Every structure is written in structure tokens, then in C-alpha cells.
Amino acid sequence: MRYQNTYVNLDTRLYHEQPPASLDNPRAGHFNTQVAQQLGWTTNEDLMTNWIEILGGQYVPADFKPLAMAYAGHQFGQWAGQLGDGRGLLMAQVLDNDGQPQDLHLKGAGLTPYSRMGDGRAVLRSTIREYLCGHALTQLGIPSSNALGFVVSDTRVRRERIEAGAALMRVADSHIRLGHVEWIASFAPDVLGEFTDYMIDTYYPECRDSDVPVLAFLTAVVKRTAHMIADWQLIGFAHGVMNTDNLSITGSTLDFGPFGFMERFNPAWINNHSDHTGRYAYQNQPAIGHWNLNVWLPHFMRLDGVTRETLADCLAPYEATFMQHYQQGLCRKLGLPHQRESLSLAFEWLTLLEDNLLDYTNSFRALLGLIAPEDHPYEQKLLATMTTELSSDAQQIWQDWSTRYLASIEQLPLAQAINDMQTTNPVYILRNSMAQRAITAAEQGQFEEVDRVFRLLANPYSVQDIANDLDTSAPAPDTPQVPISCSS
């Protein structure tokens, strides 16, 4: 691996160097060979032979520089003060095969000075959810952390019940969160200039060419965040805990807790059990992204060339970037060009899904069975299921909508429409029930189901033999989507 451990050269107040605390008898859970290859991990014999010991915290290779990062954050809209890596360690920074920076971060690595009341551990259930979700989003084409693999162990961890301790080697382009800057502003304001230079040089080097690099950097963070959230909305992903300590400065999805993928379409869906007010409901995510950036940006006023007015200019493109990307994506999901008529069709379609509680993923995919039935037997079946779920009032609305939709599609080259739809409407997402089946088996020591779901999600846009009906079935319409607990 091409190590580039630069964080450890920053001001020592920003982190605490320490090794992980080892887990008892760590055993393989799953290993992501594709990620390992991209990192250059597979060409290193020491790393390959000892990956379980490394993830289990029993062995730290000489080139690793493990440390816990300090950060702060706003949680559910309130200033939470110092947080930091309470159960994870930045183990090493590397350049991957494409020369891109990647952080290896071990989650579940034991106590740190930032553990507060926690035990420094992660349980198997949440580790599997994070492992599969990072993989799912990455393969869906959405910027996200991913993971090299995870291990399970005999270490007992107390949550609502006693569970097995596990550890995940997370891989992300950066582990710097908006909350890092919030921590600096409160506890070490004199390092803000040095830290901003570090963020620009490491993650946004193209901004150096700009007249005021810091403003170019902030604008780029704003745009990348808007872009990521548009991707989430299009695929039906709800992060669940969009606190400023869980948002990366690179516009890449980070920190999976009570996340979820939309099943029966309900824009007001709250997937996090602890989110009593629905602050992080699916439909609020774009506004929350803006809220987070808005509390973050003013810290940079300490720096030369940054004023309230110039910061307003940095934030201004947020809405237009989101809208452009979301609306264009929505039109592509229908195979239509990005124009006003397509958008009205799209919004009528979303209303139909919402009023009839139709499955978001399957319904979009079913439209391929409408426009090109011969080539899409699987999608024809989805279409048949979908139409049986329509209320009698909705049957007429559907007839009318599909006639107008087909008329719009007929004016276009069909191959292009099909290609757009096949590459933006997945067959497989990580449904809670899928993750749960994989977890139940893993808790009995069986990891085959984790592997099967992993393989399924490796090609989410293609129908696959290893799938079964449960992978693509939505919960019955009258079962409310069960919110996921924060306990992890």
C-alpha cells in the first residue's frame, strides 16, 4: 500500500495517538476483495495473511499510525460540544490505485479519550448493516464510505441484550466531518488556517488555482453535499442521523446508524427510532443539508478573504445544484429528457406511488415492463403486482398517466430511454428485512447469507439468479415501516 499518513503531522491537539484494544478471538465475517485490490492491500503479504488480527486489533502493522480524531457537532439541531472518535481509530491513510486518498478506519476498536459514556465497541448487527450499506451505495454509484471487511469476536458487548463485539475496517476518502471544524472553532481556533489548508491540499487541490482558495473550497463542499443528497433522494436512501458530526467534507455518505432504503413510498418516512420530531425524515434531508452547511460556514470568517457576504455566495448554489441534479435524475429514472413536461409526469407519478403506498424501487423498475415488455419479463411481473395494488380510483389515474407517459416515450429513441432507466432504477436495494436475515444467520455463526446479499448488491441494476422473492418484496402495505434503533 502507498501510505500517506499526514493527519498525524497536524497540531497534536486534533487527535490522540493510540493502538486499538484487541477483541477476543476475532473471526472472519466478510472481506471485500474489490476494495482490498483498489487499496493495494492484496499485494501485501503481511496484510493479507494477518487481516483478521489487524481488524481484531491484535496486530498493528508498522506502517499504520492509529489515532482517534477530535471533532464536535450539532446533534438533532443542538450544539453537542466535543464528540470525537469514541470507538473508532484512523488506522492508516493511503493512496489507492487511482492515486486518490483513502482512510482506513477501524470501528469498534475500543475506548479512546473521546468515548464519553460509551464502551468503545460496536456490535455485530450494526457492523453488518454498515458493511452492507456502504457496499450497496457504492455499487449503486452513490459516493459513500465502504469497507475492507469485518470480524466478529467472543468479546461480549452490553446493549439492550448482551451481543457479540465486532469491528469494521471502514474505507472512506476522508474521515473529516463538518464537526471537525466546529471542534476547532471551539477548542483550538488558532489551527483553523492550518487545518483548512490541509483539507484543501488533500481533498480539494484544484481549489488552489482559484483567487481565494478557501472560498472555492467552501463552494465545492456545498455543491458536493447537495449532489450527494440528491443522489440519496433519487435512490430512496434515508441517512437517519444527519448530525454535523456525521457529514463528511467530501460529500460522501458517512456513518451508518439507523439508515434505511425507502420501500412503500412515503416522503414523510422517519427511519430513526430516536427521531421523535421527524427532523431527519426522508423528505427533510435536502433542507437539513442546507441547515448543516449554514451552521458550519460562519466558522471560516476567521480566515482572510472570508466575510459574511462571500460565505453567502458559497452557500447560494446549494439549492440550484440540488434541484438540477435531482430533477435531471428523476427524468432519467423515467427515461425522459429533462424538461418541464417530464417533470410534471414525474411528480404525478410520485403522487400515485404515495397515494397507493407502492414500493418505490419496484415501481420505477416496473416501468421497463410497460415500455419494452418483450425484453423485460421480470419487470412485467413487477408491473402486474403494482397494478393489482392500485385502489379502484387509482386504476383510472394510472391508465391516464401511463397513456401520456407512453406518448412521451414514443417520441424518443427507445434504446436511450431503456438504458437510462436500467442504470438508474435498481432491482436490488438493501431492504431492512434482507439485512435482518443476514444478521440473524450471522449471529448463529453463519455468514453465507451476508455473502449472498453482498453479491446481490454488487450488481444492483441487473436481475440475478442468486436472488429470491424475499429480496424484492416490500412489506405488506398495512405494516408500518419499523423505525431502526440508534443502539449500535
Contacted by 120, from Mg ion, ligand AMP, none: CB < 5 to 8 Å by type = ligand AMP
Q: Return d(Cα 401, Cα 394) in angstroms, integer.
A: 10
**Dihedral in degrees, nearest 10, Cα atoms 209, 213, 216, 219:** 160
Residue type for position 310: T
80 alpha-carbon distance from chain centroid: 23
Nearer to ligand AMP, 121 or 365 (CB): 121
Minimum CB separation from ligand AMP for residue 141, in Å? 25
Q: Return d(Cα 465, Cα 406) in angstroms, integer.
A: 30
Contact 249, 182 (CB under 8 A): no
Minimum CB separation from Mg ion for residue 488, in Å? 10
Nearer to ligand AMP, 115 or 459 (CB): 115
The one catalytic residue among 85, 173, 245, 471? 245
DSSP designation for 482:
P
Print the binding letters for residues 210-249 with ligand AMP: x by CB under 6 A, - otherwise.
-------------------------------x----x---
The size of the interface with ligand AMP (CB under 6 A), counted in residues, is 15
CA-closest candidate to residue 318, choices 215, 203, 227 = 227
Q: Return d(Cα 193, Cα 363) in angstroms, integer.
A: 49
Nearer to Mg ion, 174 or 472 (CB): 174
Q: Return d(Cα 458, Cα 462) in angstroms, integer.
A: 10
Q: Return d(Cα 96, Cα 173) in angstroms, integer.
A: 10
Nearer to Mg ion, 96 or 255 (CB): 255
Contacted by 84, from ligand AMP, Mg ion, none: CB < 5 to 8 Å by type = ligand AMP
139 alpha-carbon distance from chain centroid: 11
Q: Per CB under 6 A, does 115 bind ligand AMP? A: yes
Contacted by 257, from Mg ion, ligand AMP, none: CB < 5 to 8 Å by type = ligand AMP
Location of C-alpha cell 475506548: 111
**Dihedral in degrees, nearest 10, Cα atoms 179, 194, 222, 126:** -30
Print the binding letters for residues 251-280 with ligand AMP: x by CB under 6 A, - otherwise.
----x-x-----------------------
Q: 3-state DSSP call for residue 41?
A: coil
Q: Per CB under 6 A, does 86 bind ligand AMP? A: yes
**Residues in region 380-399 near ligand AMP by CB under 6 A:** none
Q: Per CB under 6 A, does 113 bind ligand AMP? A: no
Minimum CB separation from ligand AMP for residue 121, in Å? 6
Q: Per CB under 6 A, does 149 bind ligand AMP? A: no
Contacting residues for 56 by C-beta, under 8 A, at least 6 apart: 22, 23, 26, 151, 153, 167
DSSP designation for 200:
H
Minimum CB separation from ligand AMP for residue 439, in Å? 18
Minimum CB separation from ligand AMP for residue 178, in Å? 13
Q: Return d(Cα 206, Cα 255) in angstroms, integer.
A: 27
| List 26, 57, 66, 120, residue binding ligand AMP (CB under 6 A) | 120
Minimum CB separation from ligand AMP for residue 387, in Å? 41
Contacted by 250, from Mg ion, ligand AMP, none: CB < 5 to 8 Å by type = none
Cβ neighbour number for residue 168 with a 10 Å cutoff: 29
Binding residues (CB under 5 A) for Mg ion: these are 246, 255
Q: Per CB under 6 A, does 163 bind ligand AMP? A: no
H helices of 151-212, in order, are 178-187, 192-203
Is 245 annotated in the active site? Answer: yes
Minimum CB separation from ligand AMP for residue 129, in Å? 12
DSSP 373-440: GGG-HHHHHHHHHHHHTS-HHHHHHHHHHHHHHHHHHHTS-HHHHHHHHHHHS-S----HHHHHHHHH
Print the binding letters for residues 443-482 with ligand AMP: x by CB under 6 A, - otherwise.
----------------------------------------
CA-closest candidate to residue 199, choices 296, 130, 113 = 296
Contacted by 86, from Mg ion, ligand AMP, none: CB < 5 to 8 Å by type = ligand AMP
Nearer to ligand AMP, 185 or 212 (CB): 185
Q: Per CB under 6 A, does 118 bind ligand AMP? A: yes
Given the rule CB under 6 A, which residues bind ligand AMP? 83-87, 114-115, 118-121, 241, 246, 255, 257
Active site residues: 245
